[in-house]
């Protein structure tokens, strides 16, 4: 039997998951788990949430549990994937400290996301050591598990590159312990929030994985469409319409083709098109909603799953750190 290749990925517990998170990452995590060729470690990156939001911690604990419920509902199976919380595995902090010692400051200062986020998130205090150093914490998270690969979107590539450099530097300075992890590029469908900007909790434009009924319909009704289509009699351009992008994921091919045609010849109005989308999304999310309901009423089970995942992660982390201490002679 060929050995499974280990992969690792995480998410910050900044709020319950939205469709952008699901379609951009989580769905792929489930596929990787079901592929059978990978040993998957998925974690809640709660220390990472502090790197940009150290003064907004009141919801972190609750968000951790909500996210694990969403993971389980979306199809992550705790028997096949290790689901854990970063802060429950103290070894991450120890490896972070050790990697900080060998990471040149210039590698962090040239990180494009660092500059971009400082520019974009003007309401946060990002002038901290923690924020500058978060890619080192990420490197510790990944190499701790000797991961073969990291599923990422294209925007995360510079971080994986930095992790690779840090792993190589450690191996060169002390001893060959860490495999240099590969980025496993995830194709992310181009879906925007209801207002046409990137789907994000902070823009208040997200459709959540837990939304259903009136709440879901109201969000879909408010979605931006083709801006040139002012009246129902104006022909539309599905290729620039965010509603159509969602139809492409949730509707069957014959319906997509019909909407495409009807939109172009103004035979369907946006209101009707959105109603059909709401039906399709609700239908598509129903199995996830049923499982969310199950786990919400069996919350003890969720806590047990997290505790078990933490223990499994700790076992691997302890073994790695024993090797690391020995290599550094500390």
Q: Which residues would be at the binding site for ligand SF4 (CB under 6 A)?
A: 225-226, 229, 236, 238, 241, 243-244, 259, 263, 268, 270, 273-274
Q: How far is the CB of 282 from ligand SF4 (least distance, A)?
A: 17
Instruction: Find the shortest distance in angstroms from Cβ 95 to ligand SF4.
Output: 49
Considering the complex, state which of residue 16 and residue 274 has its C-beta at the smaller distance from ligand SF4: 274
Q: Cβ 227 to ligand SF4, closest distance in Å?
A: 9
Q: Which is nearer to ligand SF4, 180 or 245 (CB)?
A: 245
Q: Are 27 and 74 in contact (CB under 8 A)?
A: yes
For 279, phi and psi rounded to 5 degrees? -60, -45
CA R_g for the chain: 22
Confirm if 141 and 89 have CB atoms less than 8 A apart: no
Nearest to 104 by CA among 76, 125, 142, 132: 132
Give the residue with the Cβ less far from ligand SF4, 136 or 278: 278
Q: For residue 38, list its beta bridge partners.
A: 5
The answer to whether the CB of 150 falls within 8 A of the CB of 138 is no
- Using the minimum distance from each CB to ligand SF4, give the nearer residue, 26 or 243: 243
d(CA 63, CA 12): 9
Instruction: Provide, rounded to whole angstroms, the least separation between the CB of residue 225 and ligand SF4.
Output: 4
Give just the sign of the alpha carbon dihedral 54, 58, 61, 66. Answer: negative
Which CB atom, from 120 or from 255, has the smaller least distance to ligand SF4? 255
The answer to whether 102 and 57 are in contact (CB under 8 A) is: no
At closest approach, how far in Å is the CB of 187 from ligand SF4? 22
């Amino acid at each position: 039997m060929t050995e499974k290749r280990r992969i690792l990925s995480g998410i910050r517990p900044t709020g319950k998951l939205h469709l952008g998170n699901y379609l951009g990452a989580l769905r792929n995590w489930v596929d990787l788990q079901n592929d059978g060729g990978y040993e998957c470690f998925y974690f809640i990156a709660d220390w990472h949430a502090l790197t940009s939001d150290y003064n907004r911690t009141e919801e972190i604990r609750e968000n951790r549990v909500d996210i694990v419920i969403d993971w389980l509902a979306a199809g992550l199976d705790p028997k096949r994937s290790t689901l854990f919380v970063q802060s429950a595995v103290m070894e991450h902090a120890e490896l972070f400290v050790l990697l900080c010692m060998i990471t040149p400051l210039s590698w962090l200062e040239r990180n494009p996301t660092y500059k971009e986020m400082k520019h974009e998130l003007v309401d946060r205090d990002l002038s901290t050591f923690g924020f500058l150093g978060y890619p080192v914490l990420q490197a510790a998270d990944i190499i701790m598990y000797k991961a073969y690969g990291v599923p990422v979107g294209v925007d995360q590539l510079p971080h994986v590159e930095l992790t690779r450099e840090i792993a190589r530097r450690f191996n060169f300075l002390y001893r060959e312990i860490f495999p240099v992890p590969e980025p496993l590029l995830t194709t992310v469908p181009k879906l925007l929030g209801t207002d046409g900007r990137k789907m994000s909790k902070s823009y208040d434009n997200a459709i959540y994985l837990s939304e259903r009924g009136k709440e879901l319909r109201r969000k879909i009704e408010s979605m931006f469409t083709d801006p040139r289509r002012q009246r129902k009699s104006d022909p539309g351009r599905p290729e620039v319409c965010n509603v159509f992008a969602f139809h492409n994921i949730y509707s069957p091919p014959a319906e997509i083709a019909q909407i495409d045609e009807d939109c172009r010849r103004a035979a369907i109005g946006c209101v009707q098109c959105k109603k059909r989308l709401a039906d399709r999304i609700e239908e598509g999310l129903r199995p996830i909603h049923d499982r969310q309901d199950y786990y919400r009423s069996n919350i003890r089970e969720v806590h047990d799953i997290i505790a078990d995942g933490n223990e499994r992660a700790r076992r691997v982390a302890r073994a790695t750190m024993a090797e690391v201490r020995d290599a550094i002679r500390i």
